[in-house]
Amino acid sequence: MNLVFLGPAGSGKGTQAKRLEADYRITQISTGDLLRNAVREGTELGKQAEPLMREGRLVPDDLVIGLIEERLARGDIENGILFDGFPRTLPQAEALDAALTRLGLKMDKVISLEVPEEILVDRVTGRRSCPVCGSVYHVRTRPPKVEGRCDLDGTELIQRSDDTAEKLEKRLEVFRTEIPKVKEYYRKKGLLAEVDGTGNPEEVYERIRQAVES
Ligand code: AMP
């Protein structure tokens, strides 16, 4: 089963993707994570992407598509893929279709997590993450057991440089412009399911599961 997860920063995509990955034994591919790895490793791509990411702007389509093609070519995917944070533009959606077709695969469902913007601001500005294992916390709604430290490995938690109110506004602006086109593309193909992303993570997961299985 191959799925796409659409949703703005703070919509809960990352958290919900991890659950789906475990329950359906599919592989999560997050372009945000792949790009952050490239930045950390100091690759050529990472150097090009870093200033754009810091500003909440999109990394150019050809770079992101190249990254996805490279990831798919690794050939380690068995049951299916969950694309998280990709596609974010119409050309990316078209390129993804082409890449899947080349591999003899198809998209099964596109889940769009719908969350009002005022909730996104609270979720994103309170978000703290572990730079080592990627665990995500929230200062108020999901605090770590020891303040500022990851529950799993004790690493000092960080606030992502793009998780400030100002950067979030830029990211939302980009999202508002590009994502309606991506949604329309998948709606026309009969693949789009819009899911209410408000409420606690368990409720949201249940709605997602129903949408995936319908
Ligand atoms: P995310 O973790 O999905 O919020 O992504 C963090 C940042 O990485 C975004 O604000 C963009 O700068 C960049 N990025 C991630 N995915 C994409 C994509 N599919 N296309 C362009 N830029 C992306």
CA-nearest residue for atom 6, ligand 1, is 32
Atom 14 (ligand 1) nearest CA? 32
On whether residue 72 sits in a domain, the answer given is yes
Give the DSSP per-residue string, 112-159.
EEE--HHHHHHHHHTEEE-TTT--EEETTTB--SSTTB-TTT-PBPB-
State whether the beta carbon of 160 lies less than 6 angstroms from ligand 1.
Answer: no
User: What pLDDT digit, counting tens, does each position of 116-163 carry?
Assistant: 998 999 999 999 999 898 888 999 989 999 999 999 999 999 998 888
Question: C-alpha distances in angstroms, 23 versus 7, 19, 154, 188?
Answer: 20, 6, 27, 28
In a domain, residue 140? The reply is: no
Q: Are 85 and 29 in contact (CB under 8 A)?
A: no
pTM for the whole thing? Answer: 0.86
Portion of the chain with pLDDT greater than 70, in percent:
100
In a domain, 89, yes or no: yes
Is there an atom of ligand 1 within 6 Å of 85 CB?
yes
pLDDT: which is higher, 78 or 20: 20
Q: How many CB atoms lie within 10 A of CB 58?
A: 18
* Most ligand 1 atoms within 8 A of CB, residue of 88, 89, 158, 174 to mutate: 88
Q: Answer yes or no: is 46 within a domain.
A: yes
Residue 78 has pLDDT above 90, yes or no: no
- The CB of 172 under 6 Å from ligand 1? The reply is no
Q: Is residue 152 part of a domain?
A: no
Q: Which atom of ligand 1 is nearest to the CA of 92?
A: 19
Quote the ligand 1 centre to 162 CA distance (angstroms). Answer: 10
What does the block give as tokens for 123? Answer: 């979720």
Task: Give the span between the Cα atoms of 167 and 125, in whole angstroms.
Answer: 10
- Ligand 1 centre to CA of 32 (Å) is 5
Of 83, 68, 67, 69, nearest to 186 by C-alpha is 83
HSE toward the beta carbon, residue 94, CA cutoff 13 A: 6
Asked whether residue 123 is domain-assigned, the answer is no
Query: 52: Cβ below 6 Å to ligand 1?
Result: yes
Burial class from Cβ neighbours inside 10 Å (0-12, 13-18, 19+) for residue 137 reads buried
Q: Is residue 128 part of a domain?
A: no
Is residue 65 in contact with ligand 1, taking CB distance under 6 Å?
Answer: no
Mean pLDDT of the chain: 93
Is the CB of 109 inside a 6 Å radius of any atom of ligand 1?
no
Structural domains of the chain, count: 1
Q: What is the CATH number of the domain that holds 66?
A: 3.40.50.300
Span 82-106, mean pLDDT?
94
Q: Return the HEC string of 7-23.
A: CCCCCCHHHHHHHHHHH
Domain residues for the domain of 76 are 2-116+174-213
User: For the chain, where are the alpha helices, taking DSSP H only?
Assistant: 13-24, 31-41, 44-54, 61-73, 90-102, 117-125, 165-188, 201-213
94 within domain boundaries: yes
211 burial class (0-12, 13-18, 19+ CB within 10 angstroms)?
middle
Look at the block and give the residue holding tokens 């799925």: 3
pLDDT of residue 88: 95
